[in-house]
Amino acid sequence: MIKVSAKTKQILVPIISVIAGFLVGAIIMLIWSYNPFEGYASMFDSALGNMNGIGETIREATPLIFTAIGFSIASTAGFFNIGLPGQAQAGWLSSVWFVLANPHMPKVILLPLAIVIGAVAGAIIAGIAGFLRAYFGTNEVITTIMLNYIVLYSSQYLMQQVMSAKLRVDTDTTKAVSPNGSLHLDWLSNMFGGARINAGIFLAIIATIIFWFIMKKTTTGFEIKAVGLNPFASRYAGMSDKKNIITSMLLSGAFAGLGGVVQGLGTYQNYFTQTASVDIGWDGLSVALLGGGTALGILIASILFSILKIGGLGMQTVAGIPYEIVSIVIAAIIFFIAISYVIGLLFKDKKTPIKVKETESSQIDKEGAQAK
Amino acid sequence: MNLQTMLSLIVSSTLVYSAPLIFTALGGVFSENSGIVNVGLEGIMTMGAFSSVVFNLTFASSLGRLTPWLGALVGGIVGLLFSLLHAVATINFRADHVISGTVLNLMAPPLGVFLIKALYDKGQTENISANFGYYSFPGLAKIPVIGPIFFANTSAPAWCGIVLAIVLWWVLYKTRFGLQLRSSGENPQAADTLGVNVYKMRYAGVLMSGFLGGLGGAIFAEAISGNFSVSTIVGQGFMALAAVIFGKWNPIGAMLSSLFFGFAQSLSIIGNQLPGISHIPSVYMQVAPYVITIVVLVAFFGKSTAPAADGVNYIKSK
Q: pLDDT digit string (tens) for A74-119? A: 999 988 898 999 999 999 999 999 999 998 889 999 999 999 999 9
Which parts of chain A have pLDDT scores under 70? 1, 349-372
Does residue A96 lie in a domain region?
Answer: yes
> How many angstroms separate the Cα of B280 from the Cα of each of A30, B273, B284, B285, B288?
54, 12, 7, 8, 12
A286 closest CA partner among A253, A329, A257: A329
- Are residues A154 and A278 located together in one domain of the fold? yes
Residue that finishes a domain, picked among A274, A292, A310: A292
Distance CA A181, CA A184 (A): 9
Q: What is the pLDDT of residues A122-157, one digit of tens each?
A: 999 999 999 999 888 888 888 998 899 899 999 999
Hey, which residues does A272 pair with through a beta bridge?
A173
Quick one: which H or E segment has residue A169? strand A168-170
- Are residues A24 and A84 located together in one domain of the fold? no
Q: What is the ipTM of this complex?
A: 0.88
To the nearest whole Å, the CA of B138 is away from the closest chain A CA by 39
Could B238 and A139 be called an inter-chain contact, meaning their C-beta atoms sit closer than 8 Å?
no
Domain hosting A345: range is 1-34+322-372
- Are residues A3 and A119 located together in one domain of the fold? no
Does residue A2 lie in a domain region?
Answer: yes
Q: Using CB atoms and an 8 Å cut-off, which of residues 133-162 of chain B contact chain A?
A: none
Amino acid identity, residue A147?
A: L
Distance CA B210, CA B316 (A): 24
How many domains, chain A?
2
Does residue A45 lie in a domain region?
Answer: no
Nearest 5°: phi and psi at A291? Answer: -80, -5
CA A48 from centre of chain = 21
pTM listed for this prediction: 0.87
Distance CA A130, CA A146 (A): 13
- Are residues A225 and A353 located together in one domain of the fold? no
- Are residues A242 and A199 located together in one domain of the fold? yes
Max mean pLDDT range (A182-186, A285-289, B125-129, B252-256): B252-256
**For chain B, percent of residues with pLDDT exceeding 90:** 53
Distance CA A11, CA B102 (A): 23
Cβ neighbours of residue A31 under 8 Å, at least 6 residues apart? none
- Are residues A94 and A193 located together in one domain of the fold? yes
To the nearest whole Å, the CA of B85 is away from the closest chain A CA by 9
pLDDT at A356 (0 to 100): 46
- Are residues A142 and A199 located together in one domain of the fold? yes
- Are residues A203 and A334 located together in one domain of the fold? no
Q: Using CB atoms and an 8 Å cut-off, which of residues 25-44 of chain A contact chain B?
A: 28, 32
Domain residue limits, chain B: 3-301
- In terms of CA atoms, which chain B residue is nearest residue A279? B106
- Are residues A243 and A359 located together in one domain of the fold? no
- Are residues A157 and A208 located together in one domain of the fold? yes
- Are residues A340 and A258 located together in one domain of the fold? no
> How many angstroms separate the Cα of B233 from the Cα of each of A276, B48, B146, B254, B260?
11, 10, 33, 19, 19
| Helices B198-220/B176-186 angle, 10° precision | 100
Does residue A171 lie in a domain region?
Answer: yes
Quick one: which H or E segment has residue A347? strand A347-349
Which CATH architecture group holds B3-301? Orthogonal Bundle (1.10)
Confidence of residue B230 (pLDDT cuts 50, 70, 90): confident
CB B109 within 8 A of CB A327: yes
A184-192, long-range: CB < 8 A, 24+ apart: A184/A266, A184/A269, A189/A55, A191/A51, A191/A55, A192/A51, A192/A52, A192/A54, A192/A55, A192/A56, A192/A58
Does residue A315 lie in a domain region?
Answer: no
**Model confidence at B125: pLDDT above 80:** yes
Strands A347-349 and A2-4: parallel
Interface test with B, best of A273, A305, A339 (most B CBs within 10 A): A339
- Are residues A284 and A333 located together in one domain of the fold? no
To the nearest whole Å, the CA of B177 is away from the closest chain A CA by 25
